[in-house]
């Protein structure tokens, strides 16, 4: 069984590399004035860009480069309040005939940067265009991101949301999140159910299992804090380039002026709260679990707010709710399994031989029905999110997002198959040390494959959705 799972997991990882291609970006430039490649007989007064989704003001930049390679002065980037997909900058100098390059960068509410450039030519003797020089007060609703240089683009090697290091950071963030949410599910669902059962063996396992769970929870909280710092630095590099990653004004604006930044602050607060709660539990203050419970909800929401959901056209509220519940369901299922193995079964090693086997049997009996509930919640909300992001069934196999989602489903089917094997073949053998060894081995395999599923998810959230208007169709 373990060899089959390992082989399937290896194939899944290989498929990830083949299927996702280069479709990392979520947004796209739909049109521009002047148009790309145009030859103008009138000198433009502004650069106006129209994107396929609402642009975050703090992430949007427009730079005009003259034929001599020098930057042409432009006004601040403006996003009209009644046209959030449009960004423009007035040109602050007269343009002589020649070839000009427009460099642009923007990001939607999911904060995944997209950048590019195009050229236009002003013909000799061109007249000055004054048709739209006036800008209404409504167009200047709020200040813009402090000006910084735009990273070179398009550059296939540039650091962005799809870069392997960024994927690893997101993967570790998911692991830490599953650790915090899984600890809560283990405490209230698994241990709570076992406590209500009230068997002597089960009750003797409660205290050591919860103590170990709180220690593991502290580790998950620390990991989430570290990955939050790494995410901030990675996002800054993606937005501002390596030279501007520590620019305090740019980073400060990114945190305070965007939804991504607010979600990041919520995640940091949740991680700190969870850590304090776990420490309180370690010191015998079991009210600390209430802090961890609140932190678990907050961190699940923070992931939903910094992913695809807020950029879902017309359905952002439903998408955020579905993604939040999806994180809670998946982490309640697979995260609590981690604690069953490394907090519950591991703690049972120190028990008397006559209690060890029955205690593990009680633990698994308490975990199994709660796992079904959490897995059902994850499935229901996952289907909801897929419908919102795919919009059409054929996008499941014709878009990069859909193909990556199929890979995730394939890996999760291995997880589910392993769980079914544990339920049907291993669970009936529990009650002695032989059964304990079997469930420990098979559950560890299930956890390993679950970690691979999280790696696929880390790729999926950086892949363009068909609903975003840039589906990655071949």
pTM: 0.76
Give the pLDDT confidence score for residue 187 in this predicted structure. Answer: 95
Can you point out the beta strands (E) in 67-161?
71-72, 86-90, 98-106, 114-128
Q: Cβ(395)–Cβ(471) under 8 Å?
A: yes
Query: Phi, psi at residue 17, to the nearest 5°?
Result: -65, -30
Name the residue with higher pLDDT: 244 or 448: 448
Give the pLDDT confidence score for residue 27 in this predicted structure. Answer: 63
The number of CA neighbours under 13 Å toward the Cβ of 394 is 2
Name the residue with higher pLDDT: 285 or 111: 285
- From CA 168, how far away is CA 170, in angstroms rounded? 5
- From CA 379, how far away is CA 338, in angstroms rounded? 19
pLDDT at 474 over 70: no
pLDDT at 109 over 80: no
- Which CATH number is correct for 29-140, 3.30.70.2860, 3.40.50.970, 2.60.40.1220, 3.40.50.300? 2.60.40.1220
Q: Which of 337, 418, 412 is nearest to 370 (CA)?
A: 337
Radius of gyration, alpha carbons of the chain: 26
Q: Cβ(464)–Cβ(107) under 8 Å?
A: no
Give the pLDDT confidence score for residue 470 in this predicted structure. Answer: 42
Coil/strand/helix, residue 127: strand
Name the residue with higher pLDDT: 9 or 305: 305
140 C-beta neighbours (distance < 10 Å), count:
15
Name the residue with higher pLDDT: 78 or 20: 78
Helix or strand holding residue 283 (H, E): none
The pLDDT tens digits of the residues spanning 388-432 come to 888 788 888 888 888 888 999 999 899 888 888 887 888 788 888
Name the residue ranges covered by the structural domains of the chain: 29-140, 164-466
Name the residue with higher pLDDT: 164 or 193: 193
Name the residue with higher pLDDT: 82 or 229: 229
379 C-beta neighbours (distance < 10 Å), count:
16
Give the pLDDT confidence score for residue 421 in this predicted structure. Answer: 83
Instruction: Give the confidence band of 133 by pLDDT, cuts at 50, 70, 90.
Output: very low
DSSP string, 321-336: HHHHHHHHHHIIIIIH
């Amino acid at each position: 069984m373990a060899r089959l799972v390992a082989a399937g997991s290896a194939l899944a990882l290989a498929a990830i590399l083949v299927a996702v291609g280069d479709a990392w970006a979520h947004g796209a430039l739909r049109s521009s004035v002047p148009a790309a490649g145009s030859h103008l007989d009138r000198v433009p007064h502004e650069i106006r860009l129209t994107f396929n989704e609402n642009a975050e003001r703090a992430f949007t930049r427009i730079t005009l480069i003259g034929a001599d390679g020098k930057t042409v002065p432009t006004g601040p980037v403006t996003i009209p309040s009644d046209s959030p997909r449009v960004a423009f900058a007035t040109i602050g100098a007269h343009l002589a005939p020649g070839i000009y390059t427009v460099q642009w960068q923007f990001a939607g509410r999911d904060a995944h940067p997209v950048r590019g450039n195009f050229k236009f030519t002003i013909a000799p003797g061109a007249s000055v265009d004054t048709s739209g020089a006036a800008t209404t007060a409504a167009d200047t609703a709020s200040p813009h991101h402090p000006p910084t240089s735009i990273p070179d683009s398009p550059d296939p090697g540039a650091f962005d949301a799809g870069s392997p290091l960024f994927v690893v950071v997101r993967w570790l963030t998911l692991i830490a999140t599953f650790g915090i949410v899984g600890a809560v599910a283990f405490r209230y669902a698994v241990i709570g159910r076992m406590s209500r059962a009230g068997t002597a063996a089960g009750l003797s396992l409660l205290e050591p299992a919860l103590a170990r769970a709180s220690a593991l929870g502290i580790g998950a909280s620390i990991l989430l804090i570290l990955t939050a710092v790494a995410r901030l630095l990675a996002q800054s590099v993606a937005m501002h380039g390596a030279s501007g990653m520590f620019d305090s004004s740019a980073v400060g604006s990114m945190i305070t002026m965007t939804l991504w930044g607010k979600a990041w602050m919520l995640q940091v607060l949740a991680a700190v709260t969870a850590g304090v709660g776990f420490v309180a539990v370690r010191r015998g203050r079991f009210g600390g679990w209430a802090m961890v419970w609140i932190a678990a909800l907050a961190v699940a929401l923070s992931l939903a707010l910094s992913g695809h959901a807020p950029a879902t056209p017309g359905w952002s509220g439903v998408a955020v709710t579905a993604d939040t519940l999806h994180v809670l369901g998946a982490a309640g299922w697979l995260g609590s399994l981690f604690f069953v193995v490394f907090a519950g079964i591991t703690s049972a090693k120190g028990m008397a031989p006559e209690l060890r086997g029955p205690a593990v049997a009680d633990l698994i009996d308490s975990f199994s029905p709660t796992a079904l509930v959490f897995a059902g919640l994850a499935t229901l909300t996952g289907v909801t999110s897929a419908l919102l992001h795919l919009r059409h069934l054929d996008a499941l196999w014709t878009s990069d997002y859909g193909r990556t989602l199929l890979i995730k489903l394939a890996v999760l089917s291995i997880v589910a198959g392993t769980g079914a094997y544990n339920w049907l073949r291993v669970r009936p053998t529990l009650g002695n040390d032989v059964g304990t060894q079997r469930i420990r081995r098979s559950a560890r395999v299930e956890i390993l494959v679950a970690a691979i599923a999280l790696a696929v998810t880390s790729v999926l959230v950086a892949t363009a959705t068909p609903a975003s208007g840039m589906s990655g169709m071949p």
